[in-house]
Structure 1
Amino acid sequence: MSCGEPHETDCSEVLDHLYEFLDSEIPDVDRDKFKQHFQECSPCLEKYGLEEAVKRLVKRCCGHDDVPTDLRAKVLSRLDLIRSGESVPERDVAAAPQET
Protein backbone atom coordinates (compact mmCIF):
# COMPACT_ATOMS: atom_id res chain seq x y z
CA MET A 1 0.00 0.00 0.00
CA SER A 2 1.22 3.45 -0.77
CA CYS A 3 -0.51 6.77 -0.99
CA GLY A 4 1.67 7.71 -3.97
CA GLU A 5 3.17 10.70 -2.17
CA PRO A 6 6.87 10.92 -1.27
CA HIS A 7 7.62 10.63 2.45
CA GLU A 8 10.82 10.62 4.46
CA THR A 9 9.81 7.15 5.70
CA ASP A 10 8.36 4.96 2.98
CA CYS A 11 4.86 3.50 3.42
CA SER A 12 6.17 -0.04 2.95
CA GLU A 13 8.63 0.39 5.84
CA VAL A 14 5.88 1.70 8.11
CA LEU A 15 3.48 -1.11 7.22
CA ASP A 16 6.19 -3.79 7.50
CA HIS A 17 6.81 -2.73 11.09
CA LEU A 18 3.29 -1.69 12.06
CA TYR A 19 2.80 -4.46 14.65
CA GLU A 20 6.13 -3.67 16.26
CA PHE A 21 5.00 -0.04 16.45
CA LEU A 22 1.66 -1.04 17.99
CA ASP A 23 3.43 -3.23 20.55
CA SER A 24 6.03 -0.53 21.38
CA GLU A 25 8.83 -2.83 20.25
CA ILE A 26 10.75 -0.34 18.10
CA PRO A 27 13.30 2.28 19.15
CA ASP A 28 12.04 5.76 20.02
CA VAL A 29 13.75 7.22 16.94
CA ASP A 30 11.71 4.93 14.70
CA ARG A 31 8.53 5.62 16.70
CA ASP A 32 8.98 9.31 16.02
CA LYS A 33 9.48 8.65 12.27
CA PHE A 34 6.34 6.53 12.17
CA LYS A 35 4.29 9.12 14.05
CA GLN A 36 5.44 11.75 11.57
CA HIS A 37 4.51 9.44 8.70
CA PHE A 38 1.00 8.90 10.09
CA GLN A 39 0.52 12.68 10.22
CA GLU A 40 1.39 12.89 6.51
CA CYS A 41 -0.20 9.72 5.14
CA SER A 42 -3.89 9.05 5.61
CA PRO A 43 -3.90 5.49 4.12
CA CYS A 44 -1.23 4.37 6.59
CA LEU A 45 -3.00 6.21 9.41
CA GLU A 46 -6.21 4.38 8.50
CA LYS A 47 -4.41 1.01 8.51
CA TYR A 48 -2.83 1.86 11.87
CA GLY A 49 -6.21 2.81 13.32
CA LEU A 50 -7.79 -0.41 12.10
CA GLU A 51 -5.03 -2.61 13.51
CA GLU A 52 -5.08 -0.71 16.81
CA ALA A 53 -8.85 -1.23 17.08
CA VAL A 54 -8.50 -4.95 16.38
CA LYS A 55 -5.78 -5.22 19.01
CA ARG A 56 -7.99 -3.47 21.61
CA LEU A 57 -10.94 -5.71 20.73
CA VAL A 58 -8.88 -8.87 21.08
CA LYS A 59 -7.49 -7.67 24.39
CA ARG A 60 -10.97 -6.85 25.68
CA CYS A 61 -12.48 -10.14 24.54
CA CYS A 62 -9.57 -12.49 25.17
CA GLY A 63 -7.25 -10.63 27.48
CA HIS A 64 -8.33 -12.44 30.61
CA ASP A 65 -7.87 -16.02 29.46
CA ASP A 66 -4.96 -17.93 30.92
CA VAL A 67 -2.62 -19.20 28.24
CA PRO A 68 -0.98 -22.57 28.83
CA THR A 69 2.72 -22.11 29.48
CA ASP A 70 3.79 -24.53 26.76
CA LEU A 71 1.60 -22.81 24.13
CA ARG A 72 3.01 -19.42 25.08
CA ALA A 73 6.57 -20.75 24.75
CA LYS A 74 5.80 -22.28 21.32
CA VAL A 75 4.24 -19.07 20.02
CA LEU A 76 7.12 -16.91 21.28
CA SER A 77 9.62 -19.34 19.76
CA ARG A 78 7.85 -19.18 16.40
CA LEU A 79 7.78 -15.37 16.53
CA ASP A 80 11.52 -15.37 17.19
CA LEU A 81 12.04 -17.61 14.13
CA ILE A 82 9.94 -15.33 11.95
CA ARG A 83 11.73 -12.19 13.14
CA SER A 84 15.14 -13.75 12.55
CA GLY A 85 14.18 -14.76 9.02
CA GLU A 86 14.67 -18.47 9.64
CA SER A 87 12.36 -21.02 8.10
CA VAL A 88 9.25 -21.72 10.08
CA PRO A 89 7.95 -25.28 10.48
CA GLU A 90 4.84 -26.07 8.45
CA ARG A 91 3.06 -27.61 11.44
CA ASP A 92 0.73 -25.23 13.23
CA VAL A 93 2.18 -24.17 16.59
CA ALA A 94 -1.22 -24.36 18.27
CA ALA A 95 -2.09 -27.76 16.84
CA ALA A 96 -2.11 -30.47 19.45
CA PRO A 97 -3.10 -34.09 19.09
CA GLN A 98 -6.82 -34.57 19.63
CA GLU A 99 -7.83 -36.96 22.35
CA THR A 100 -10.50 -39.43 21.37
Structure 2
Amino acid sequence: MRDCANFLTKADLYLDGELDDVAMAEVRDHLGECPNCLREYGLHQALQTMVGQAGGGDFAPTDLHGKILSRLAQLGADEGTNPPSERVRIGGGWEASTP
Protein backbone atom coordinates (compact mmCIF):
# COMPACT_ATOMS: atom_id res chain seq x y z
CA MET A 1 0.00 0.00 0.00
CA ARG A 2 1.59 3.21 -1.10
CA ASP A 3 -0.81 5.99 -0.29
CA CYS A 4 -3.25 7.15 2.33
CA ALA A 5 -6.26 7.22 -0.01
CA ASN A 6 -5.78 3.51 -0.65
CA PHE A 7 -5.58 2.88 3.09
CA LEU A 8 -8.83 4.70 3.77
CA THR A 9 -10.67 2.53 1.25
CA LYS A 10 -9.43 -0.55 3.12
CA ALA A 11 -9.78 0.63 6.73
CA ASP A 12 -13.21 -0.91 7.40
CA LEU A 13 -12.35 -4.10 5.52
CA TYR A 14 -9.22 -4.36 7.66
CA LEU A 15 -11.24 -3.86 10.85
CA ASP A 16 -13.64 -6.60 9.79
CA GLY A 17 -10.81 -8.97 8.84
CA GLU A 18 -12.10 -9.16 5.27
CA LEU A 19 -8.79 -8.61 3.48
CA ASP A 20 -6.44 -11.32 2.29
CA ASP A 21 -3.18 -11.86 4.18
CA VAL A 22 -1.14 -9.68 1.83
CA ALA A 23 -3.54 -6.73 2.07
CA MET A 24 -3.76 -7.12 5.87
CA ALA A 25 0.04 -6.92 6.08
CA GLU A 26 0.10 -3.86 3.81
CA VAL A 27 -2.42 -2.08 6.03
CA ARG A 28 -0.49 -2.99 9.20
CA ASP A 29 2.73 -1.72 7.65
CA HIS A 30 1.08 1.52 6.58
CA LEU A 31 -0.39 2.05 10.05
CA GLY A 32 3.08 1.65 11.49
CA GLU A 33 4.46 4.33 9.18
CA CYS A 34 1.67 6.89 8.94
CA PRO A 35 0.42 8.71 12.06
CA ASN A 36 -2.43 10.35 10.11
CA CYS A 37 -3.85 7.02 8.98
CA LEU A 38 -3.30 5.54 12.43
CA ARG A 39 -5.46 8.34 13.84
CA GLU A 40 -8.08 7.76 11.12
CA TYR A 41 -8.00 4.03 11.85
CA GLY A 42 -8.64 4.81 15.51
CA LEU A 43 -11.73 6.79 14.50
CA HIS A 44 -12.99 3.92 12.34
CA GLN A 45 -12.36 1.51 15.20
CA ALA A 46 -14.24 3.73 17.68
CA LEU A 47 -17.15 4.12 15.26
CA GLN A 48 -17.36 0.38 14.73
CA THR A 49 -17.41 -0.16 18.50
CA MET A 50 -20.17 2.43 19.00
CA VAL A 51 -22.28 0.95 16.21
CA GLY A 52 -21.84 -2.51 17.71
CA GLN A 53 -22.92 -1.27 21.12
CA ALA A 54 -25.88 0.62 19.70
CA GLY A 55 -27.29 -2.62 18.33
CA GLY A 56 -28.56 -3.45 21.79
CA GLY A 57 -27.68 -7.11 21.50
CA ASP A 58 -30.40 -7.86 18.96
CA PHE A 59 -29.72 -11.00 16.98
CA ALA A 60 -31.17 -12.24 13.74
CA PRO A 61 -33.54 -15.20 14.01
CA THR A 62 -31.65 -18.49 13.94
CA ASP A 63 -33.40 -19.64 10.75
CA LEU A 64 -32.73 -16.41 8.80
CA HIS A 65 -29.45 -17.66 7.34
CA GLY A 66 -31.10 -20.73 5.83
CA LYS A 67 -34.03 -18.69 4.51
CA ILE A 68 -31.69 -16.26 2.75
CA LEU A 69 -29.68 -19.03 1.10
CA SER A 70 -32.85 -20.83 0.08
CA ARG A 71 -34.31 -17.67 -1.44
CA LEU A 72 -31.08 -16.97 -3.34
CA ALA A 73 -31.18 -20.49 -4.78
CA GLN A 74 -34.84 -20.04 -5.74
CA LEU A 75 -34.17 -16.70 -7.43
CA GLY A 76 -31.32 -18.27 -9.39
CA ALA A 77 -33.58 -21.12 -10.50
CA ASP A 78 -36.40 -18.71 -11.46
CA GLU A 79 -34.04 -16.74 -13.68
CA GLY A 80 -32.34 -19.82 -15.10
CA THR A 81 -29.02 -18.86 -13.59
CA ASN A 82 -26.94 -20.34 -10.88
CA PRO A 83 -26.65 -18.35 -7.67
CA PRO A 84 -23.12 -17.29 -6.76
CA SER A 85 -21.02 -20.08 -5.33
CA GLU A 86 -18.67 -18.01 -3.25
CA ARG A 87 -18.38 -17.01 0.36
CA VAL A 88 -20.64 -14.10 1.16
CA ARG A 89 -20.90 -11.83 4.18
CA ILE A 90 -24.46 -11.96 5.40
CA GLY A 91 -24.15 -9.73 8.47
CA GLY A 92 -23.49 -10.03 12.13
CA GLY A 93 -20.26 -11.79 11.29
CA TRP A 94 -21.96 -14.66 9.44
CA GLU A 95 -20.25 -16.10 6.43
CA ALA A 96 -21.52 -18.95 4.37
CA SER A 97 -21.01 -20.63 1.06
CA THR A 98 -23.98 -20.26 -1.20
CA PRO A 99 -25.17 -23.41 -2.97
The question of a shared fold, defined as TM-score above 0.5 by the shorter chain, is answered with: yes
Separation in 2, partners of 1:63, 1:21: 24
Structure 1 residue 10, shift from structure 2 partner? 1.1
1:10-29 superposed matches below 5 A: 10-29=3-22
TM-score (norm. length: structure 2): 0.56
Say which SS state the counterpart of residue 17 (structure 1) adopts. Answer: helix
Q: Pick from 48, 51, 58 the counterpart of residue 58 of structure 1.
A: 51
AA matched with 1:41: C
Aligned residues: 64
**Equivalent in the alignment of 1:93:** none
Q: Which stretches of structure 1, 4 residues or longer, exceed 6 Å deviation after superposition? A: none
Q: Which has the higher strand share?
A: 2
Q: Is the 8 A contact 1:22 1:52 kept in 2?
A: yes
Unaligned runs of 5+ in 1: 1-7, 74-100
- Identify if the C-alpha distance between structure 1 residues 63 and 14 changes in structure 2 by more than 3 Å, giving closer, same or farther: farther
Structure 1 residue 9, shift from structure 2 partner? 2.1
Structure 1 residue 32, shift from structure 2 partner? 0.6
- Identify if the C-alpha distance between structure 1 residues 63 and 20 changes in structure 2 by more than 3 Å, giving closer, same or farther: farther
Separation in 2, partners of 1:48, 1:35: 11
Unaligned runs of 5+ in 2: 69-99
Q: Larger relative CO (CA 8 A, sep 6+): 1 or 2?
A: 1
Say which SS state the counterpart of residue 64 (structure 1) adopts. Answer: coil
